[in-house]
Structure 1
Amino acid sequence: MAKRPKILVLFDVGEPTGLNVDYTEDLKSPTWKTERHVLNALRSLGYPFSVLGVHDNTALIREMISRFQPDVVFNMVEQFANSLSNETHVTSYLELQGVPITGCGSIGIALAKNKIISKKIASFHGIRVPRFMVHEPGKIISMDAELEFPLMVKPVHEEASYGISLKSIVHDPQELLSRVCYVHEKFQQEALVEEYIDGREIYVGVIGNDRLQCLPPREMTFGRNVPRESRFASYHVKWDESYRDRWGIKNRFPSSLEKKVEHRLNKTSKELYRALNLKGYARMDFRLTSNGEPVFIEANPNPMLAKDEDFALSARKAGIDYPKLISKIISLAA
């Protein structure tokens, strides 16, 4: 039997840390489920591994690599010094260490996580995106003649739907002005204003480097009492379990999706994956119109890997059980 490669698992932590820290108690927490699931999979597969919590000290990363001499770095670091905007930088640093890392590289992360650039790239490749405009802080707020209400207003650089709520949908110039000013003041960044796309919320996982595989799509569904205009992935919709229960919001496999529509989703997802220079694994988020047209909303490099979340559930439906998924991600490290 071939010798298993040595894996150094990196994940972010919220405070300064050190080498050889015991995370046994932390891993029992529900908020650490992804780390727990990945480590359990590595253990079951027989990979020799070590772990390092990353906060704000790159020297610890270099020292750990020097000590452990890993063959692969399993990268789950999403922020550095408690800032999500540093994910690209810490990934770049890992790439300089000369050890293959799992997941998307720094270029793909930078392109995908910039909502403006990713939409421009998608549009260049003939993929439909919502019509949009960007309002910068300190400049006069005006309305593009091509945009029609209702519109959605969101911060450009936030993630996980942070800054998106029911109030993000605006219906007239006064509401638009108010929400753009809110984004400027609250987040100190540009406000992305885009047309609201009426449709279904669809997610497509993609795995691979050169040869790509699309996983079965997932759909966010809403209870019948939720107004159509409120059926989108706001922060509460994504992360507040009591809110989801109250409004009958679930993530599931679509019950009715024509083969030709699924084929179009997969084709578009692969085109986006390549155009955005993504590697390893990622997820594409779409609004699917009533006539079956996918409208690209955003790409998520290195999506959540917990075994009970969308990406792993889609992999399982495709015949890739959780340990096999983790092993495949390791094999794609570059």
Structure 2
Amino acid sequence: MKKKLVVGLTYDLKTDYEHEPGEPVDKYAEFDKEDTIAVIENALKEGGHQVIRIGNGKKLLDFLVGKKEKVDIIFNIAEGINTRSREAQVPAILDMLEIPYVGSDPLTQTLTLDKLMAKKIVAYHNLPTPKFVLVNEISDLENFKLSFPVIVKLRYEGTSKGLDKGAKTNNFSEMKKRVQWALGTYHQPVLVEEFIQGKEFTIGLIGNEEPEVLPVVQIAINGKLDLGEDFYIHSLVESTGVEYICPAKISARLDKKIQEIAKKCYQVLECRDFGR
């Protein structure tokens, strides 16, 4: 008989935070809505487990200090706050206190949030990633040699933060202006990457050393499968203009190649339990 567990649920809710004047509108874009937490909670309960909602990292500390209830394991989807290692905050606390948890460890959480380090690791293992330039300050654009168009991305963000239609630039002048805006608005380094035109996919994996690769999901924007010059931007995250198609409408050969690359990336980044 499967053991019933007491599962603590850690997460960041959008409603727990308020924008301060001058902050980017997408500062808390990675955080979840109540309905997402409810879906996870209900799934765990349907599996026969007891669920204790804990919340974000600070609430976890209060929970652990109070010791009012004991959990067998933490189901962690907390994003953390403030730093480039924010996704490692909850796992680091749990590691230190030897509390079991679901999801990747602090090192992998930090490396995968950092686009530069993640790209270096996958490139070392001969996995494909677009050519790029790291920009800490505008002078780093001297002797720029990438081919246009290029796309300007924030180094330490997810959920398409910092991405709108202006992120793709077609010449040096446009690119420099965009880089200046990103550096000044988000106060972190940016990556300038060669833009990859075409179709967009996402893929989930479950497991550890030999993960199960889930079906490929294709992203359609405004009904288009071949996106051309379009790409996934922040304003589309919750838009009705985006459709997620699963299984993807692609050839068996391409499907296999995407799954193979995703699995290798998951493994070389040493992801654990689940990822996308």
Which position in structure 2 is the counterpart of 1:46?
48
Which position in structure 2 is the counterpart of 1:32?
34
Instruction: Output the TM-score relative to the length of structure 1.
Output: 0.72
**Rounded Cα–Cα distance in structure 2 between residues aligned with 1:93 and 1:268:** 32
Find the residue that maps to 1:68 and give its secondary structure. coil
Whose relative contact order is higher, 1 or 2, with alpha carbons under 8 Å and at least 6 apart? Answer: 1
**Rounded Cα–Cα distance in structure 2 between residues aligned with 1:99 and 1:10:** 13
**Rounded Cα–Cα distance in structure 2 between residues aligned with 1:60 and 1:50:** 14
> Which of residues 273, 279, 284 in structure 1 aligns to 2:272?
279
Aligned-residue offset at 1:226:
9.9
**Rounded Cα–Cα distance in structure 2 between residues aligned with 1:7 and 1:177:** 48
Is contact 1:137–1:189 with CA below 8 Å preserved after alignment?
A: no
Find the residue that maps to 2:257 and give its secondary structure. helix
Which position in structure 2 is the counterpart of 1:106?
106
User: Where do 1:156-235 residues align within 5 Å?
Assistant: 156-223=155-222, 228-235=227-234
Bigger shift: 259-268 or 195-204? 259-268
Which position in structure 2 is the counterpart of 1:239?
238
Relative distance call for 1:230 and 1:60 in structure 2 (3 A) is same
Is contact 2:114–2:156 with CA below 8 Å preserved after alignment?
A: yes
Query: Given residue 233 of structure 1, which amino acid in structure 2 is its aligned partner?
Result: Y
Aligned-residue offset at 1:61:
3.6
Which position in structure 2 is the counterpart of 1:260?
253
Aligned-residue offset at 1:204:
1.1
What is the root-mean-square deviation of aligned Cα atoms in Å? Answer: 2.4
Aligned-residue offset at 1:153:
0.7
**Rounded Cα–Cα distance in structure 2 between residues aligned with 1:224 and 1:2:** 44
Relative distance call for 1:272 and 1:196 in structure 2 (3 A) is same
2:141 matches 1:141 = yes
**Rounded Cα–Cα distance in structure 1 between residues aligned with 2:6 and 2:247:** 38
Find the residue that maps to 1:12 and give its secondary structure. coil
Aligned-residue offset at 1:10:
1.8
Aligned-residue offset at 1:125:
0.7
Query: Given residue 112 of structure 1, which amino acid in structure 2 is its aligned partner?
Result: T
Which position in structure 2 is the counterpart of 1:298?
none
Aligned-residue offset at 1:83:
6.5
**Rounded Cα–Cα distance in structure 2 between residues aligned with 1:281 and 1:226:** 27
* Structure 1 residue runs of 4 or more that deviate by more than 4 Å after TM superposition: 82-85, 224-229
Unaligned runs of at least 5 residues, structure 2: 18-31
Relative distance call for 1:58 and 1:33 in structure 2 (3 A) is closer
Relative distance call for 1:229 and 1:263 in structure 2 (3 A) is closer
User: Where do 1:46-65 residues align within 5 Å?
Assistant: 46-54=48-56, 56=58, 59-63=61-65
Bigger shift: 49-58 or 196-205? 49-58
Find the residue that maps to 1:159 and give its secondary structure. coil
**Rounded Cα–Cα distance in structure 2 between residues aligned with 1:114 and 1:203:** 18
Find the residue that maps to 2:99 and give its secondary structure. coil
Instruction: Output the TM-score relative to the length of structure 2.
Output: 0.86
**Rounded Cα–Cα distance in structure 2 between residues aligned with 1:56 and 1:72:** 18
Unaligned runs of at least 5 residues, structure 1: 16-29, 284-334
**Rounded Cα–Cα distance in structure 2 between residues aligned with 1:119 and 1:143:** 21
2:123 matches 1:123 = yes
Aligned-residue offset at 1:143:
4.5
